[in-house]
Structure formats: C-alpha cells, structure tokens
Structure 1
Amino acid sequence: MTNRPSVLITGASSGIGATYAERFAARGHDLVLVARDKPRLEALAARLRDANSVRVDVLQADLTDATDLAAVEARLSDDARIGILINNAGMGQSGRFIDQTAGTIDRLITLNILALTRLASAIAPRLVQAGEGAIVNIGSVVGLAPEFAMTIYGATKAFVLFLSQGLHLELSPKGVYVQAVLPAATRTEIWERSGTDLNLLPPMMEVDELVDAALIGFDRREQVTIPPLQAAERWDAYDSMRKGLLAEIKQDRAAERYRTVEG
C-alpha cells in the first residue's frame, strides 16, 4: 500500500491502458485494472506487483454491458482510495457511416460515450468532496477532423473533448483536475479490432511515447494534451478563435445576411 491515490484504468489489458498502468505503478500508485480480457489483466497485474511492490486489483468488465458497467461505477463511487480515473476504454470504427449497422453504432456509442461519461460521473462527486483527484479522458484528434471519414468515431471523440472541457470548468474550482488527451494514430490493437489495414495508414506513434507525453501534460496540469502537436500555440489560437466566435453569436437578432432575401 502507498499514500498515493489508487488509479483505476479502463481498457487496461493492452496498448494505452496497459502502458498507463506500467507508468503509474512505477510511480508507486496502487491500481485497479479494468478490461474484458481477464487472463491478460491477471498477467499484467502479476508483473506490476512483482516489479513495483504495489497493490493491483483486477476487475473484469465489458463496459458495454449494463451490469458490468454498474459494478465499475460502484467501485469508483465507494472506494475512497481511488483518486485518479483513466477513462481509456474505447473502440474504433470500421467502414464509413453507411456501412454501419444498428449494433455497431450502439456498441461504439455505448463504449466511447456512455460508459466514459458514467464512470466520470461515478467518481466526480467523491473527488469534489475530497477536494482533490483527477479524471483523464482519452479522446482523439479525429474528433477535430470530420475530413478523416470516421464519422461516428470522430463524433464520439468530439464528445469526449467537449465533456472534458465542461468538466474542467465545473470541477477545477473544487480541486479536481480534468485532462483530455488527444492522440493521433497510435500503434495499438484498436486498428486490428476495427478491421483496419495497418499498411494503409501513415506512420504511427508508439504507445510508450504517447503515454509518456500525456503524463508530462498530466504533471503540468494541461487541460488538453495533444502529444503529436509540435506548436502548442496552434491549439491556443484555435481555442481563442472559438471563444471569439462565441462572443459574436451572443446576439438577439439574426445576422444581416439572413434578414435580406436575395433574388
């Protein structure tokens, strides 16, 4: 046991989630690892316990299943040791919008939006009461780019960014840190699971580099961390333009161009 807060990580059996687990264990944090693949979770947990002398609990759960999701919510709301949530579990999109079925749409939105939001909601009241803690939501740069033709996936990641920014405004005055991490293409199993041919994709960032960069942003208490963005001022300019746009639409009349009928 340590005096540091425990960290609950979803999607922890591989890729980004497993790497977060390695990094936080190395920092001396106890862990709660959540994923569907219990054998892989158990193997990771055993390795992290041996290497770092931390407590690692395994919680097998399919976050698209209502019963499993409720169990993870209960752990977040009831376990006062958990002070950091890494909302990492997610799935990609195979094919364009017209290729999707009702089932694939439901599963994508349930995991990427519903589960992520409910888990944040489960822990937030307790963190606010404690006056400390952190929620990290893993989004994607695809949420900024409808041009990438991953319409539903991108929409879910746009939601993650918006939710994180809104939570920051609500929770940061109460001592709770909220970070949105927006990776670009990263070499993880999500591509194979979504049926994407890796040979058709541009070079991708390795998971270790992605998570290490995200944790630097975490330590700096960045609101939005975009590991592949070379010029930080680009995001600042983007956000400033967004706020400037808002200032111009707080009006009680339609714009002049919409009040004049042409031709």
Structure 2
Amino acid sequence: MSTFTGTALITGASSGIGAVYADRLAKRGHDLVLVARDTARMETLAERLRAETGVAVEILAADLTADADTAKVEARLAQGDIALLINNAGMSLNGGILDNGPAEFARIITLNITAPTRLASAAGKTFVARGAGAIVNIASVLAFAPEMFDGIYSGTKAYVLNLSQSMAAQLADRGVYVQAVLPGATRTEIWERSGKDIDAFPAEMVMAVDDLVDAALVGFDRRETVTIPPLADEGQFTALTAARLAMAPNLSKRDVAPRYRETVAA
C-alpha cells in the first residue's frame, strides 16, 4: 500500500465511484473533503466514515456546473491543506449529438471538462508550491473508442486523459503525481441519470464500483500515469502508446506528405 498521506478532496462524492473512493481513502487514514450537490447523502456517508475510521470529514456542497460553486472548491484547494484531489464528478447525456441542444451540451462540457480542468489547475498550483501532491482524474475507456456510443461523452473523457498525461509529464519532477483512471462500464447511477439501462449490457462487461476503485488504487500505489482496470493485456496499451510516440516526430513538417501531392498523368 502507498505511504501517501494527507487530506483528500473528492468530487462527485455522494455516490458511485466518489463515495467508494471516500470509503477506501478514509480506511487508509486520510481526512476527507466531500464535494457534491446532495448534502444529505454526503452527511450520511460522512457520519459512517467518522464512526468507522475516526477520520475528519468535511462536507462542501457544490454544483460544479455553476461557476460560483466551482470557485468555492478552487478556493478550498488553495487553502493548502489538501494533498490529494480525486476529480470524479461527471455526467453522460440522454441520447447523442442529434438528440440534445445547446443547454445540454454546455452542461456536460462544463461538468466533464471545465470543472475538472479548473480544479486540477488549482490543485496543481498548490501542490507545486508545496513540492508534493497527487491528482486523480476519472476518464473512461471510451477515450480510446470514439466510434462507440456517444462521441460527446467519449470526447470529454479523451480530453481528461489528454490533460492528465500532459500534467503528469510536466509536473512529475515538481513533486506532483497525476493519474488518469479509465473505467469501462461500471455499475453506478450515471446510467440511470442519462436514461440508459446498465443491465442491457452483457454481465461480463460490467464492473462493480468497489472493484473498480480498488484496482484504481493499486495503480495509484504503483504510480501509474494511466490505469485501465478492465484491460487484461497491458501490452495493448503499451503498444498504442509506443505507436503514438513514434508518430509524434512526423506530425509537423515543412513539406506536404507525398501521399497528398497531386499526381500528374503522363
């Protein structure tokens, strides 16, 4: 187990992945700051964790689609006592790009992209100043599968993965560890909230949320940059990463690639 210590701030902490992170981190001895809209559910969770573990649990009610509420969480991170940010809050749409409109698009982009970016930035600044800290961003395996399901949701999660890998590369030598966790289909309330039936998936495709978080914490302890709990063959991700890095030097050139040059018939 990791020797990482300090207070953890968890967004989307009232249920699902966030609530299980709260449970597991409390059992590791971390004091907690729970962030979500549902104060009653957070209070119930906090009471149980205080009684079972003796850790201090603070409740911070916030709707991360609201600018003022996100600013409250940024201010809490800036106080300097947080050592670990779990950037978990997120949502999916009911339907896809043709079934929704500007309000729905703005909401998912604000919650899945803008809010985690702002919080990762606020945490990163505090952690760099202290020379220590960790940020866990919850993405999705759909970051690798834009052709499957709704491209808006998968696009937001591809962004989270991109942000995480960039921050990990930039901040590692400044004492800050950044992990992206990529769940597959996981049994949480996000499905019902977006009008989907998780039981419509084959049972072998759906992971229990407890198993997901426990695996993510193994990756955390190992200091992985990207943790993919359902992926059995790590070599597939290693090969994907190697191919991407090999392509990078060839992505910006003065000359147009020969395959795009117009050929003239003899």
In the superposition, the TM-score normalised over structure 2's length comes to 0.95
Which whole-Å deviations, capped at 9, do the CAs of 1:203-259 have from their partners, x for residues lacking one?
A: 210000000000000000000000000011111110000011112224211101112
Q: Which amino acid aligns with 1:31?
A: L
Confirm or deny: 8 A CA contact 1:140 1:183 kept in the other structure: yes
Unaligned segments of structure 2, at least 5 residues: none
Report the Cα distance in structure 2 between the residues aligned to 1:59 and 1:186, rounded to whole angstroms. Answer: 26
Q: Which amino acid aligns with 1:82?
A: I
For residue 70 of structure 1, what is the aligned residue in structure 2? 71
For residue 216 of structure 1, what is the aligned residue in structure 2? 218
Report the Cα distance in structure 2 between the residues aligned to 1:256 and 1:218, rounded to whole angstroms. Answer: 44
For residue 115 of structure 1, what is the aligned residue in structure 2? 115
For residue 125 of structure 1, what is the aligned residue in structure 2? 125
Equivalences for residues 149-188 of structure 1 within 5 A: 149-188=149-188
Q: Tell me whether 1:207 sits opposite 2:205 in the alignment.
A: no
Shift of 1:40: 0.1
Which whole-Å deviations, capped at 9, do the CAs of 1:146-187 have from their partners, x for residues lacking one?
A: 121211000000000000000011111101000000000000
Report the Cα distance in structure 2 between the residues aligned to 1:59 and 1:77, rounded to whole angstroms. Answer: 14
Give the fraction of aligned pairs with identical amino acids, expressed as a percent: 55
Q: Tell me whether 1:13 sits opposite 2:2 in the alignment.
A: no
Shift of 1:115: 0.2
| SS at 2:147 equivalent | helix
Report the Cα distance in structure 2 between the residues aligned to 1:58 and 1:4, rounded to whole angstroms. Answer: 20
| SS at 1:147 equivalent | coil
Which whole-Å deviations, capped at 9, do the CAs of 1:41-80 have from their partners, x for residues lacking one?
A: 00000000000000000000000011111101100011x2
For residue 231 of structure 1, what is the aligned residue in structure 2? 233
Confirm or deny: 8 A CA contact 1:9 1:88 kept in the other structure: yes
Q: Which amino acid aligns with 1:131?
A: G
Runs of 4+ in 1 over 6 A off after TM superposition: none
For residue 24 of structure 2, what is the aligned residue in structure 1? 23
Equivalences for residues 94-113 of structure 1 within 5 A: 94-113=94-113
For residue 35 of structure 2, what is the aligned residue in structure 1? 34
For residue 148 of structure 2, what is the aligned residue in structure 1? 148
Unaligned segments of structure 1, at least 5 residues: none
